[in-house]
Structure 1
Amino acid sequence: MDIAVVARNTEVADRFRSHLEDKLSKVEQLAPRAHRIEVEITREQNPRLADQAERVELTVIDRGPTVRAEAAADDRYAALDLATTKLMERLRRSRDRRKNHHRRDAAKAPTSLPDTLPEIVEEEAPSAPTPPTEPGVAVEAQLGDSPVIVRQKLHDATPMTVDQALYEMELVGHPFYLFIDEETKQPCVVYHRHGWTYGIIRLNHEMQPQD
């Protein structure tokens, strides 16, 4: 499994890199189909945030949902331990969910195949416009003449249900999740509200025909 490490405002020593690879070697046990782990290590320069000076972000790239975890501490090794613990728990949840789906699918499967099978017609996927950036690669740019730095990232969007969007939001550990609703085809955002409740924001957007 490929482990890609990116450092921001810091450098990664060989000793820590070796420790990191040893910690993440257990990922394959819970995600055998994963082919890449992206690691982002950030050093906070603000002295007021000394107790969270070291931040570690882990992202597992799989054929299924992306699983992500991050943590911050005053020590890089401690931040890695916290992030790894979160990651393993989310990977277990993802694995258990796949197992439950497989059991339900097996229970619904017919005991015998029909004499004739329906013909499968493959449809060509609609052509998509060229994206402004490569999917999954973050790009930072300055906003006009101001000192504000905007970080943007392009993600592939597969239509999904609200339930699946909530599930994937929990896997990546974000307070919100942007997706395309499978039923309405609307751009939507699910998010955490106060307490143990969720909210949904939908955009009423209709594609206009092009000349």
Structure 2
Amino acid sequence: MEITARGKGPVVRAEACADSFYAAFESVTSKLESRLRRTKDRRRVHYGEKTPVSVAQATADLIDESLFEPGGGAHEHPDESRGRDSDEHTDYAAGPGHIVRTKVHPDTPMTVDDALYQMELVGHDFFLFHDKETDRPSVVYRRHAFDYGLIRLA
């Protein structure tokens, strides 16, 4: 079972499997809860006089009223999802060696630490990002024994 939480912030994903549906559901929700808690803790300012803007104040003008109407927001137009990760499923010939999915990823410059954080939240073994330091596409990936690797294009 896999649950993906998408929103204005980072994409958070958790997956688990078990013998019964309810055991898998309980396991995946606890994983998702811990990742969401980690996200919240990372945003919390732990030092000094800097205080973050309240969520209510920051999102006051972003609330889409159609989401609160019955049936509202269920059918999103493809143009409205720009800026978020979007998937394009394509039907190609069955068999190995064919591209079956194309994903468009936003090009937001970030540091290597931010990319590692995003990779951990999504739960993937790699993460493609625009490196703020070198201004080039880069990939961070998980290695054996909890180490990470970084690939930068020349």
TM-score by length of 1: 0.51
* Selected match of 1:183 from 133, 140, 148: 133
Counterpart code for 2:138 = C
* Selected match of 1:106 from 50, 56, 60: 50
Q: Which has the larger radius of gyration?
A: 1
**Larger RCO: 1 or 2 (CA < 8 Å, sep 6+):** 2
Runs of 4 or more above 6 Å deviation: none
| Partners of 2:49 and 2:5 in 1: CA distance | 26
| Partners of 2:132 and 2:123 in 1: CA distance | 22
Counterpart in 1 of 2:116?
Answer: 166
Counterpart in 2 of 1:80?
Answer: 25
CA distance change for structure 1 residues 105 and 58 in 2, over 3 Å: closer, same or farther? farther
Structure 1, gaps ≥5 residues long: 1-55, 108-130, 205-211
| Partners of 2:11 and 2:48 in 1: CA distance | 23
Q: How many residues of Structure 1 are paired with residues of Structure 2 in the alignment?
A: 122
Secondary structure, in 3 states, of the residue corresponding to 2:124? coil
| Partners of 1:80 and 1:151 in 2: CA distance | 27
Q: 1:198-209 counterparts in 2 under 5 A?
A: 198-204=148-154
How many angstroms does 1:104 deviate by?
5.0
Secondary structure, in 3 states, of the residue corresponding to 2:50? helix
How many angstroms does 1:157 deviate by?
2.4
Secondary structure, in 3 states, of the residue corresponding to 1:189? strand
| Partners of 1:106 and 1:138 in 2: CA distance | 41
Percent of aligned pairs sharing the same letter: 50
Q: 1:15-34 counterparts in 2 under 5 A?
A: none
CA distance change for structure 1 residues 147 and 105 in 2, over 3 Å: closer, same or farther? farther
Q: Deviations over 1:43-88 (max 9, x none)?
A: xxxxxxxxxxxxx211111222111111122322222211111110
Q: 1:55-66 counterparts in 2 under 5 A?
A: 56-66=1-11
Secondary structure, in 3 states, of the residue corresponding to 1:141? coil
| Partners of 1:70 and 1:157 in 2: CA distance | 26
Counterpart code for 2:26 = D
Counterpart in 1 of 2:40?
Answer: 95
1:152 aligns with 2:96: no
Q: What do you get for the CA RMSD once the two structures are aligned?
A: 2.5
TM-score by length of 2: 0.69
Secondary structure, in 3 states, of the residue corresponding to 2:135? coil
| Mean CA deviation greater in 147-156 or 188-197 | 147-156
| Partners of 1:140 and 1:81 in 2: CA distance | 33
CA distance change for structure 1 residues 159 and 58 in 2, over 3 Å: closer, same or farther? same
Counterpart code for 2:95 = P
CA distance change for structure 1 residues 104 and 189 in 2, over 3 Å: closer, same or farther? farther
